[in-house]
Structure 1
Amino acid sequence: MESIVLVTLILLSVSIAIVFSQKSKQRKRKASLFMVVVTLTTLPLFYFLHEPAPKALEKTVDALTHSEYMEDIQAKLTEDPNQQELWFQLGHGYLVNNDFKSALTSFDYSIRLSASPSANQLAAKASALYYLRSQRINDEVESLLTAALQQDSTNTTALTLIANDHLLSFRYQQAIDTWVRLLDSQKTDLDRVAIIGSINYAKSRLNIH
């Protein structure tokens, strides 16, 4: 969690600097939107870290730093590379480090080792691909998101990714509709304050346009 906060602060610092460096109003507006998107796109990562961890890891995570946690998972996979839950957790760790290529590889192994991939696994792979492709929903990402939502129509990771992509592409009403769909799911692990804040921001941009 601390790693995500650090990454967010660094990205926000950079984006704030971009905002103030722009002279034209149009560029400053676009830079401001980028700053908001930087904040919003961390939501999937926060959700990833709240995924149920394998029982063997639950007590270990709190006592280890992120690097030690990653090393511990890698060591366990060296002993037994057929543990799909550990590959899934390793993928989460790589996402925190913004190592999307390694995250994608880890999620691929997790899916291959599963008799039937879960919605969370499919959405996780979609997220890794999305960020690896410079935040673009290509055919493969769309196919994974569709498969994830067919299993779980209100999957938090999938819907958050879709909403953020709508926002990034100035499709404010679609972003609002997706976040409302997430809120209506009544899931208990949602950061409702952050989602409502995102909806209000999208509404404010919608009114301008």
Structure 2
Amino acid sequence: MIDFWLAAGLLLLVALSFLLIPVLRSRRAQREEDRTALNVALYQERVAELQTQQEEGVLDAAQMDAGRAEAARELLADTEGVEAPRVSRLGKPLPLLAAVLVPVLGLGLYMHYGASDKVELTREFSQAPKSMEEMTQRLERVVAAQPDSAEGMYFLGRAYMAQDRPADAAKMFERTVNLAGRQPELLGQWAQAQYFADGKKWSDKVQALTDEALKADPKEVTSLGLLGIAAFEGERYQDAIDYWNRLLAQLPPDDKSREALQGGITRATEKLVASGGKVAQAPAAKASALLKVSVDLAADLKARVQPGDSVFIFARAISGPPAPLAVKRMTVADLPVTVELGDADAMMPQLKLSNFPEVQLVARISRAGKPTAGEWIGRSQPLASSTTAPQTLTIDSPDK
């Protein structure tokens, strides 16, 4: 910040120089004008003295002319090189007044329209905060300096929640939603903050927020966790188990919160059993598909391919998107080869073998390394994705 003010001061001095230099020049011109007037007065006094001496008979006419010429030469020598005075229409007071007002107005305008607060915030955020309170204070200044920053409001809301200030967090998440739109994650955070701000009392507002969040994204983790908490507090233990199981399925295996969540499910189960209830079994998960296929090259094609040519072995849906459901990449040198195609080989999570009842196996040779186009191909007949019997596929036809 000191560097900024030093630079601003230097620029201010440059601006003042344009105002003060003309004033200094006018003073110099005034001094030169005064000196010229003095020389003229001395010349006139010398001429008068010569005339007095002539009248007294001390000097004759020739001496009088010589003395007058000598005084004129001295006057000319003293005034030689003096510039003609410049006449300023502004006068002296106006530049001096401007020199005072320019820095005052400049500072005032900068403090009103400038970004000194943002410069200071940038400097502060270059250093790690020493405490959560300091981080919260920084975020509060960010929101004050940038009231249209949805990111700043979101992180300030999270900071308020970490400091057990749910009422402030709820207001901040509401402002974030108004700026960034009704995104499922933001709605879930808002609902959670509102729930704790209301003293852990379920309300129509919280219900509406969680319903909207889960309608847009059934896997929204904050809403699932909150609904589980509310169900547990309301002694609806089966609902709590269901919500938390859904949340558990979304968390990665190494997530640290899995243990606490599993503990909550266990406690809900114990309370349900103790109250005479019975834990409802979750519906059985759909078995994942796994196709085993052996691929070989027709004998008459072996002399027409190169060992380094790419071989793509994949399954695609008979009724569905044309994109492959599961893919393995090999080379001609690997043939014959046996591979397994399953849900783990899916190109996209929603395009799994188990999601489509009937598929076709394809093996394609592509010298360009493109799975969508090549030189030779082999195709199977349609078969069920649940097939467990090994399949055989021969590459024997031109790829058209």
Work out whether the TM-score is over 0.5.
yes
Give the equivalent residue in structure 1 for 2:192.
Answer: 127
Q: Within the alignment, does 1:88 sit opposite 2:189 as a pair?
A: no
Change (3 A) 1:110 1:61: farther
Separation in 2, partners of 1:149, 1:172: 20
- Given the superposition, is the C-alpha separation of residues 181 and 70 from structure 1 closer, same or farther in structure 2, using an over 3 Å criterion? same
Confirm or deny that 1:70 pairs with 2:136: yes
Matches within 5 A, 1:107-186: 107-114=173-180, 116-186=181-251
| Structure 1 residues 70 and 60: alpha-carbon distance in aligned structure 2, compared to 1, 3 A threshold | farther
The equivalent of 1:198 in structure 2 is 264
Partner of 1:45: none
Relative to its length, the structure with more helix (as a share) is 1
CA spacing shift, 1:206–1:119, aligned 2, 3 Å: same
Inter-partner Cα distance in structure 2 for 1:184 and 1:205: 22
In structure 2, relative to structure 1, the CA distance for the partners of 1:74 and 1:186 (3 Å cut) is closer
Matches of 1:152 and 1:123, distance apart in 2: 10
Moved over 3 A (4+): 59-64, 186-190
The CA deviation string for residues 35-59 of structure 1, in whole angstroms up to 9 with x for no partner, is xxxxxxxxxxxxxxxxxxxxx9xx8
Structure 2, unaligned runs of 5 or more: 1-121, 276-400
Please provide the CA RMSD for this pair: 2.1
1:61/1:69 contact within 8 Å kept = no
Counterparts of 1:15-34 in structure 2 under 5 Å? Answer: none
For 2:109, the equivalent position in structure 1 comes to: none
Residue 113 of structure 1 aligns to a residue whose secondary structure is helix
Once residues 64 and 159 of structure 1 are traced to their aligned partners in structure 2, the CA distance between those partners, rounded to angstroms, is: 33
- For the residues of structure 1 that align with 2:169 and 2:199, how far apart are their CA atoms? 15
If each structure's strand is expressed as a fraction of its own residues, which one has the higher value?
Answer: 2
Aligned residues: 151
The CA distance in 2 between the partners of 1:182 and 1:74, in whole Å, is 32
Q: Deviations over 1:24-45 (max 9, x none)?
A: xxxxxxxxxxxxxxxxxxxxxx
1:100 and 1:128 in contact (8 A); partners too: yes
Deviation track 1:84-121 (CA, whole Å, cap 9, x = no partner) reads 0110111111112222221111111111111x221111
CA contact (8 A) 2:251 2:258 kept: no
Percent identity between matched residues is 26
Q: Per chain length, whose mean CA-contact separation is higher, i.e. which structure has more relative contact order (CA < 8 Å, sep 6+)?
A: 1
